[in-house]
Amino acid sequence: MLRIIQKRNIFFILSGTLVLVSIAAFIVWGLKLSIDFTGGSLSEISFIKDRPNVAEVRELLVSQKLNNTDEAVIQPAGSNELIIRTKTLTEDEHQQLVNVLKDNYGQENVVENRFESIGPVIGQELQNKAIVAVIIVLALIITYIAFTFRKVSKPMASWKYGLAATIALVHDVTIITGAFVLLGHYLNIEVGLLFVTALLTLLGYSVNDTIVVFDRIRENLIYRPKETFAETVNQSANETIARSINTSLTALLVLLALYFLGGVTIKYFVLALILGIIFGTYSSIFVASALLVSWHEFSRRKR
């Protein structure tokens, strides 16, 4: 049997380090927000034959002096696409951009896959709503777990189960956010509404794993009354670890296939899900249950 609870300080140090690094990265660099949150226009252009390099396309736009393209961000995507982000373009400015590319690289060679345009006011509103959505989900999770474990009062109050699960969720979200801060700083990866969707999905996935562990603790508190709380929690974590890992692996196999074989537009959405499942499974077993024991022992010493 694994001594998960007995060695919980190791997991606390590991988790604390990752969380502190993530928070520090966020404070120093912040997330690189997409036009979903900042406003602007995005064009995804495919080149049937050879794709020009980024510097060449940037020089072309500068030489043409097109409106709102002076600070364009141009990134390669896939094997033959370019993504061009600019300030918000009108339809006329959008057509001018596409025509310039077609005139220089061939009418048949240039294909626009998609065009999106979001105003700065709407972008800010979406950003605010995304933050509110995450906060509401966390509050509802605390309420749900407290209600589910309402008949469990010894040796831990039901609301403490909810708070421990929420701390584990905040741990997961912080680390995933930190990973995307680093990706944005070093690889120019932007986060948008799909990233928020991934976070909300992972909150549900991770808390489901945590509830399985907590539910086994609740059962073992009834059937193993002579054991200490730490022994009961350690036994429960060991009994559920195989189930949690197997469930996560089946999900990861699908996500890895999507990451390597799926489209460019969902690549980093899938990456967020992969990281979330890994850390969500880890926190359910090694963080949430360990927090309960530490909290219980601290309360007992205080009394």
Q: What is the pLDDT of residue 79?
A: 79
Reported as half-sphere exposure (CB side, CA atoms, 13 A), residue 152 has a value of 23
Domain tally, the chain: 2
Q: 1 in a domain, yes or no? A: no
Q: 301 or 251: which carries more pLDDT confidence?
A: 251
pLDDT over 70 (residue 121): no
Query: Which of 57, 89, 117 is the last residue in one of the domains?
Result: 117
Q: What is the pLDDT of residue 266?
A: 87
Same domain, 288 and 175: yes
Same domain, 180 and 86: no
Same domain, 132 and 214: yes
Closest among 134, 197, 206 to 169, alpha carbons compared: 206
Same domain, 237 and 113: no
Q: What is the pLDDT of residue 107?
A: 87
Q: Considering the chain, what percentage of its residues have pLDDT values greater than 90?
A: 42
pLDDT over 80 (residue 123): no
Q: 3 in a domain, yes or no? A: no
Q: What is the pLDDT of residue 28?
A: 97
Task: Tell me the C-alpha distance between 73 and 91, whole Å.
Answer: 19
Neighbour-count burial of 118, counting CB atoms closer than 10 A to its CB (0-12 exposed, 13-18 middle, 19+ buried): buried
Q: Output the six-digit token pair for 116.
A: 């999106």
Residue 73 phi/psi, 5-degree rounding, is: -105, 120
Per-residue DSSP letters for 154-185? SSS-HHHHHHHHHHHHHHHHHHHHHHHHHHHH
Give the model confidence (pLDDT) of 74-115 as tens digits. Answer: 888 877 889 898 888 888 989 999 999 999 998 889 999 999
pLDDT over 80 (residue 145): no
The rounded mean pLDDT for the chain is 88
Same domain, 161 and 76: no
pLDDT over 70 (residue 153): no
Q: What is the pLDDT of residue 151?
A: 67
Q: 151 in a domain, yes or no? A: yes
Same domain, 176 and 46: no
> What is the span of the domain harbouring residue 76?
40-117
Same domain, 90 and 203: no
What is the pTM assigned to this prediction? 0.83
Q: 277 in a domain, yes or no? A: yes
Q: 49 in a domain, yes or no? A: yes
Same domain, 130 and 79: no
Task: Tell me the C-alpha distance between 83 and 64, whole Å.
Answer: 18
Count other Cβ atoms within 10 Å, centred on residue 192. Answer: 22
Same domain, 21 and 154: yes
Q: Using pLDDT thresholds of 50, 70 and 90, give the confidence band for residue 269.
A: very high
Query: Which of 117, 150, 165 is the last residue in one of the domains?
Result: 117
Q: What is the pLDDT of residue 129?
A: 87
Q: 2 in a domain, yes or no? A: no
Same domain, 129 and 197: yes
**What integer is the mean pLDDT of 28-51?**
88
**The CATH number of the domain where 77 resides is what?**
3.30.70.3400
Task: Tell me the C-alpha distance between 143 and 147, whole Å.
Answer: 6
Q: Using pLDDT thresholds of 50, 70 and 90, give the confidence band for residue 156.
A: confident
Task: Tell me the C-alpha distance between 251 and 274, whole Å.
Answer: 9
**What integer is the mean pLDDT of 283-288?**
93
Q: 72 or 23: which carries more pLDDT confidence?
A: 23
Query: Which of 63, 92, 117 is the last residue in one of the domains?
Result: 117
**The CATH number of the domain where 256 resides is what?**
1.20.1640.10
Give the model confidence (pLDDT) of 166-209 as tens digits. Answer: 899 999 999 999 999 999 999 888 898 889 899 988 888 888 88
Please say whether the beta carbons of 233 and 215 come within 8 A. Answer: no
Please give the distance of CA 96 from its chain centroid, rounded to a whole number: 36
Same domain, 16 and 75: no
Q: What is the DSSP letter of 265?
A: G
Task: Tell me the C-alpha distance between 31 and 38, whole Å.
Answer: 12
Same domain, 143 and 25: yes
